[in-house]
């Protein structure tokens, strides 16, 4: 293997390579965000594969930092995934229409009400800003030269959830009424038989989405309250970094990454606007392809724009900051008993590189279909069987790798090469597996007779990312500078 892949190196030492990094990040996150939205992934597991791929990419490029280690990266992956939210009816509000989700008694269809489209824009901005604040914080501390310990990450995580819970119970309700009073009125009408204010009704059924979905306007109200609370909690982290840690660099990075999610998820929502017929759904006739695939395209371009903006923020970090002499080490398992490290590494590796792939594989193999027709009405492969076979195989591989490096070789890390080299090789492998699952299991898009616009975009993204990534690694190997 080339020395450039076994030594910690700075690969982005020219404007051209930084450009490749931005385009590559956009294509990578766009593809992974679309994959996460497909059958078999769901909220947490879907966001976990996005998080793993993006973190492998970031650490492949900046893994020379003193704070870079496997435990830091994998905890970042986990914290990225746990804060993922939901949008319910939010992404269609940009058209100026809001539906009740549930039917009013005596009505045959859900009710649509007219709202201000600007409220839909504000809601989507808040949704994006509060989507991955703990990931933003982890990236902020990674690129900051100040020291952050495990207890600091725990403290910020606790702060985030405390502020979020408090906001859900208090200020999020009047803020929602200020942003979109019609949404509040809709829920008031839908819950009129409960004989209490919608605020008190929310507190009585705190975070109970199943309850909310049964009441007209309830799903939107509960979801809106949650995303407002999450956005405020994300802002609280940025302020905490300034006033508690006196770290303006980390605060700016955290705010910038949260803003990248806000911009990405909102700008991409224009696809839902045009796919919904424009203003109030009556502005123009929607092309059939856009009507059918607007949601899938919105998913892809949410990731594409967000990934590109995140990478743009990171490549703009000056060299003086990246290579400052006062760099501190990040939190790590150094000093822990080897058996404790083995258990923690095994759990983290199994989650990010094992379960994140096994879970969708099991669901998608059972529900395997070609051109919308189930290959086997009873399932191609029983889901439980896949969990057992693939799960045991993944666990065995991870166990063997960790046991060999931590115990037989006596290493302090789970890999025999620096984390940057590990990520350089692991990323294309991980992405390849995700694409195989997307194309050849579940809906099996590669076997479909129709080449949809979404499949076209996904197919084009893979070689574009490959060219960008190969270009960065290849040029970096020729002209790299070791640190």
What's the predicted TM-score (pTM) here? 0.93
Tokens at residue 282, please? 């009556």
Residue 256 included in any domain = yes
Range of the domain at 250: 70-267
Determine the average pLDDT of the residues in 452-480. 86
* pLDDT confidence band for 5 (50 / 70 / 90): very low
How far, in Å, CA of 5 to CA of 351, rounded? 25
* pLDDT confidence band for 368 (50 / 70 / 90): confident
Residue 130 included in any domain = yes
Residue 380 included in any domain = no
How far, in Å, CA of 480 to CA of 390, rounded? 39
pLDDT at site 483 = 35
How far, in Å, CA of 354 to CA of 340, rounded? 20
Q: List, in order, residues 6 or more apart from 242 with CB less than 8 Å away.
A: 248, 251
Determine the average pLDDT of the residues in 141-162. 94
More confident position, 334 or 50: 50
More confident position, 333 or 313: 313
Tokens at residue 77, please? 């992956």
pLDDT for 305 beyond 90? yes
Tokens at residue 421, please? 């080299």
pLDDT for 210 beyond 90? no
pLDDT at site 43 = 82
Residue 435 included in any domain = no
pLDDT for 411 beyond 80? yes
How far, in Å, CA of 396 to CA of 409, rounded? 18
Residue 109 included in any domain = yes
Q: How does the average pLDDT of the chain come out, rounded?
A: 90
Residue 428 included in any domain = no
How far, in Å, CA of 214 to CA of 201, rounded? 13
pLDDT at site 328 = 66
Nearest in space to 81 (alpha carbons), one of 45, 54, 53, 57:
45
pLDDT for 482 beyond 50? no
Angle, CA 428 vertex, CA 426 and CA 434 arms, to 5°: 100
Number of domains observed in the structure of the chain: 1
């Amino acid at each position: 293997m080339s020395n450039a892949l076994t030594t910690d190196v700075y690969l982005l030492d020219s404007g051209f390579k930084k450009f490749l990094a931005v385009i590559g990040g956009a294509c990578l996150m766009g593809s992974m965000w679309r994959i996460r939205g497909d059958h078999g992934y769901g909220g947490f597991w879907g966001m976990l594969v996005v998080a793993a791929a993006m973190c492998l990419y970031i650490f492949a490029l900046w893994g020379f930092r003193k704070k870079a280690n496997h435990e830091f990266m994998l905890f970042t992956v986990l914290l990225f995934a746990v804060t993922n939210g939901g949008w319910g009816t939010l992404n269609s509000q940009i058209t100026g229409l809001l539906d009740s989700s549930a039917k009013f008694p005596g009505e045959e269809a859900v009710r649509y009400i007219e709202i201000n489209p600007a409220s839909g824009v504000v809601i989507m901005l808040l949704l994006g800003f509060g989507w991955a604040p703990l990931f933003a914080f982890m990236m902020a501390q990674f690129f900051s030269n100040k020291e952050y310990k495990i207890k600091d990450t725990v403290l910020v995580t606790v702060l985030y959830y405390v502020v979020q819970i408090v906001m859900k119970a208090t200020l999020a309700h009047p803020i929602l009424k200020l942003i979109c009073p019609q949404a509040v009125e809709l829920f008031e009408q839908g819950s009129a038989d409960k004989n209490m204010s919608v605020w008190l009704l929310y507190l009585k059924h705190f975070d109970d989405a199943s309850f909310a979905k049964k009441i007209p306007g309830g799903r939107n109200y509960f979801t809106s309250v949650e995303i407002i609370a999450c956005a405020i909690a994300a802002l609280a982290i940025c302020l905490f970094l300034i006033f508690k840690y006196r770290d303006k660099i980390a605060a700016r990075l955290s705010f910038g990454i949260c803003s990248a999610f806000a911009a990405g998820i909102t700008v991409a929502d224009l696809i839902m606007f045009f796919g919904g017929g424009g203003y109030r759904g009556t502005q123009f006739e929607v092309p059939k392809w856009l009507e059918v695939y607007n949601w899938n395209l919105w998913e892809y371009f949410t990731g594409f724009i967000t990934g590109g903006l995140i990478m743009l923020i990171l490549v703009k970090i000056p060299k003086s900051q990246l290579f400052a002499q006062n760099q501190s080490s990040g939190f790590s398992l150094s000093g822990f008993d080897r058996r404790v490290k083995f258990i923690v590494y095994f759990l983290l590796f199994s989650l990010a590189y094992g379960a994140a792939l096994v879970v969708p594989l099991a669901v998608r193999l059972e529900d395997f279909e070609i051109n919308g027709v189930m290959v086997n009405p009873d399932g191609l492969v029983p889901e439980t069987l896949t969990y057992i076979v693939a799960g045991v195989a993944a666990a065995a591989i991870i166990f063997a790798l960790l046991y060999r490096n931590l115990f037989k070789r006596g290493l302090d890390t789970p890999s025999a090469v620096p984390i940057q080299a590990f990520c350089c090789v692991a990323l294309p492998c991980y992405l390849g597996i995700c694409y195989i699952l997307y194309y050849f299991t579940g809906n099996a898009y590669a076997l479909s007779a129709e080449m949809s616009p979404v499949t076209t975009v996904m197919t084009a993204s893979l070689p574009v990312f490959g060219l960008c990534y190969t270009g960065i690694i290849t040029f970096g190997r020729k002209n790299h500078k070791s640190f």
